[in-house]
Amino acid sequence: MPSCVCLPLNLSLPPICRSAKILIRDQQLPISALMLKRGFFQRDPVTCARELVGCKLTCGKLTGIVVETEAYDAEGDDACHTAFRPSARAFVSGYAAGAAYIYFSYGVHWMLNVLVKSERAGFVLIRALEPLEGIREMRKARGVPDVRQLCSGPGKLTKALGISARHHGRDMCSDACFAFSPGDDDRLINSSRRIGISRAMDLPWRFYAAGSAHVSRTSSKQGRAGVEPARLQK
């Protein structure tokens, strides 16, 4: 993970969405019923990172499709914060799978990660989104008109969605206002080496939607193409 300052804050989020409902196949269902359950995140970091591509991320009234992620393993991965930050190791042991791990990168950008825990624990960094709902608000927050540039990077997407230290430690499996949900389609997924790190650089643990115009960058020389997405656990 890039250099950062971690702030162990756990402040309250404004809106509550648990009572909201949507219409699906002529039936009203609570939005919370569509959230990815904790079991999704109770798997290894690489599997979760790959399968989060194509899922939707909601923060308040803003939603985007995850098109790029990176996996970080809490054991044996020198690029993971657990390799050099006691606070990250404490976070892994003290929080449940599905908790948001937020850090401040280079004193400039907030970065959104989600904790995953099974036999192997670690984090999935959300690197890019394809904006879906609330694009006007995202443009205002970013000051950028081009929709392709609104969330095409981990720091860009947190600014567009208003994600900051106040989201650190939040359970992304209990509040539909800040959660992941299954995507509507299967996407071809490419992999490459991770970006912006100086340790464990050879691991092909970056995953991104093939052909997406919203990823932070394409990778024609690294990794392999055509990774078929596995079925999501809803």
Nearest-angstrom CA–CA distance, 67 and 47: 15
Confidence of residue 40 (pLDDT cuts 50, 70, 90): very high
Q: 48-62, 91-105, 154-168, 181-195: lowest mean pLDDT where?
A: 181-195
pLDDT > 50? residue 3? no
Determine the angle formed by the axes of helices 154-161 and 135-142, rounding to 10 degrees. 110
- Give the start-to-end residue ranges of the domains of the chain: 4-187
71-86 per-position pLDDT tens digit? 999 999 989 999 888 9
| Beta carbons within 10 angstroms of residue 217's beta carbon | 14
Contacts with 62 (C-beta within 8 Å, 6 or more apart), sequence order: 133, 134, 137, 138, 160, 161, 162
Across residues 6-12, what is the average pLDDT?
Answer: 38
* Highest mean pLDDT: which range of 7-11, 99-103, 198-202: 99-103
**Residue 32 tokens, joined:** 């919370």
Nearest-angstrom CA–CA distance, 204 and 10: 32
pLDDT > 60? residue 233? no
Dihedral in degrees, nearest 10, Cα atoms 94, 105, 72, 184: 100
85-123 per-position pLDDT tens digit? 899 999 999 999 999 999 998 778 999 999 999 999 999
- Indicate the pTM of the whole model: 0.81
Architecture of domain 4-187: Roll (3.10)
Cα-based distances in Å from 67 to 31, 142, 169, 212: 22, 19, 23, 7
Taking Cα atoms as reference points, which of 135, 123, 127 lies closest to residue 161? 135
